[in-house]
Amino acid sequence: MIEIDDLHKKFGKNEVLKGIDLTIDNGGIFAVLGPNGSGKTTLIKSILGMIVPNSGTIKLNGTSIKKSWEYRNDIDYLPQIANFPGNLTVKELIKMIKDLRSTKQANDERLIELFKLQPFLDKKLNNLSGGTKQKVNLVLTFMFDSPLVILDEPTTGLDPISHIRLKELITAEKEKGKTILITSHIMSFVEEIADEIVFLLEGKIYFRGSIPELKTKTEQPDFEHAIASMLSSSYA
C-alpha cells in the first residue's frame, strides 16, 4: 500500500507538486496521466526516492521511505530512457542488477526467451538499437518478483509483437496480485489495461477513479476525448 500525504516539490522557482494526497491499495493497475510537466515523473521518482520532496511524506506499507533504501528491494522500476554503461554486455548488466538485489531469485531466462534477446546477450550495450535496449530494460524490470511495479513510458520504441508481449506480461503480473503504476502517452494502451486513472494537472490530483467514472464525469463517450475534455476545461 502506498500512502502519499501532502507532497510538495519545487525545482528552483518551478513548483511541480503542490500537495499531492494519494492512497493506492494493493493490487491493480494504476495509470498516472497528465499533460507534459504535470508532475507524473516527479511523483513516481519521489516514490522511488530519486527525488527528495520539499515536504510531505510517502509511506510504503506503513513505513516512511525517507532516508531509507532497502525498501527498493520491493519495487521494480522501468525508467523512461534506457541507457546503460556502454561497455558492459547484456549478460553482465543482468548479472550486475541481480547482484545488487538482495533477492537472488530472478526469472531472467524466461524473459530473455520472451523478448528473443538471446542473440544479443554477449553484445555490448553500446551496439544495441533503441528498441532492443528497451527490451533489456523490460527484462531488468520484470525479472524480480516485487509486489510493486512502476513503469515509466514502457511502450517506447517497442515493435508490435513486443508490445503485445508487454501487455500480456503486465496483465500476468496483475493476476499475481501486484500493484502496478504506469505512465504512458498512448491512450489506447492505458484504456486497455488500467483499472484506475490518476490524472495530474499542475501539480495536483485533478481526477482519480476508473475509466467509466471518468467517462461519466466528462460526459464523453470514449477515453481519449474524456482526457481531452478534462484538459480543455481546466485551461478554460
Partner 1 sequence: MLKILKYSFFDLMRSRWSYVYFLFYLLLGVMLLFLNNDLSKAVITLMNVIIVLVPLIGTIFGVMYYYNSKEFTELLLAQPVKRSSIFLGQYFGVALSLSMSLIIGLGLPFVFYGIFNSGAIWDFSLLLVTGAFLTLIFTALAFVIALANENKIKGFGYAILLWLFMAVIYDGIFLMSLVYFEEYPLDKFSLVATVMNPVDLSRVLILLKLDISALLGYTGAVFQKFFGTSFGFILSSLMLTLWVIVPTYFIQRMAKRKDF
The residues of the shown chain that bind partner 1, judged by CB under 8 A, are 9, 11, 45, 48-52, 69-73, 75, 77, 79, 81-88, 92, 96-97, 99-102, 140
Query: Cα(86)–Cα(90) distance, rounded to whole angstroms?
Result: 10
Q: Grid coordinates standing for 70?
A: 532497502
Closest approach of Cβ 32 to partner 1, in Å? 16
Which residue number, 153 or 211, has a Cβ lying nearer to partner 1?
153
Query: Cα(37)–Cα(147) distance, rounded to whole angstroms?
Result: 28
Closest approach of Cβ 98 to partner 1, in Å? 10
Query: Cα(40)–Cα(43) distance, rounded to whole angstroms?
Result: 5
Which residue number, 10 or 167, has a Cβ lying nearer to partner 1?
10
Closest approach of Cβ 102 to partner 1, in Å? 6
Length of the chain: 236
- Please, what sign has the CA dihedral across residues 132, 151, 50, 10? positive
Query: Cα(145)–Cα(162) distance, rounded to whole angstroms?
Result: 20
Which residue number, 69 or 235, has a Cβ lying nearer to partner 1?
69
Closest approach of Cβ 226 to partner 1, in Å? 31
Which residue number, 82 or 187, has a Cβ lying nearer to partner 1?
82
- Please, what sign has the CA dihedral across residues 166, 169, 171, 173? negative
Closest approach of Cβ 209 to partner 1, in Å? 28
Which residue number, 54 or 210, has a Cβ lying nearer to partner 1?
54
DSSP 119: G
